[in-house]
Amino acid sequence: MITKLENLPSNMVGFRAEGEITEKDFNEIVMPEVDRMVNSEGELNYLLVLDTSLKNFTMGAWLKDAAMGIKHLLKWNRAAIVTDIESVRTFTKGFSWFMPGEFKGFAQKDLQNAIDWASGKS
């Protein structure tokens, strides 16, 4: 399940992923908020707190995630992925080579730093 994070800076959107992640999570929670942010800010500052294994993402979820990336390809500004899975943080950093915008991984203990970075406050 994906839930929207509240009390974030107004120029960013954030989510927490726990348990099984499905296409429905992206259709009903992520995409409407991402679309709203891009429409209001003209760019996307994004935060994902990953509290589940990547194995818990269904194929539909992966496809929707990819579609979201492509739909807003030129709008990505900053994306922070918060997880204690080192390989995910390393992969996230490498994403900046292939996608417009900056991508950075953070450990769970550094959640506030991730929020500050993604919002441009640091």
Which pLDDT value is given to residue 64? 82
Which pLDDT value is given to residue 40? 95
Work out the angle at residue 39's Cα, subtended by the Cα atoms of residues 64 and 121, and round it to the nearest 5 degrees: 95
Domain range for 74 is 2-119
pTM (2 d.p.): 0.89
**From CA 100, how far away is CA 119, in angstroms rounded?**
16
Q: Please determine, for residue 72, whether its predicted confidence score (pLDDT) is greater than 90.
A: no
CATH code where residue 32 lies: 3.40.50
Structural domains in the chain (count): 1
CA dihedral over 81, 97, 72, 41, signed as positive or negative: positive
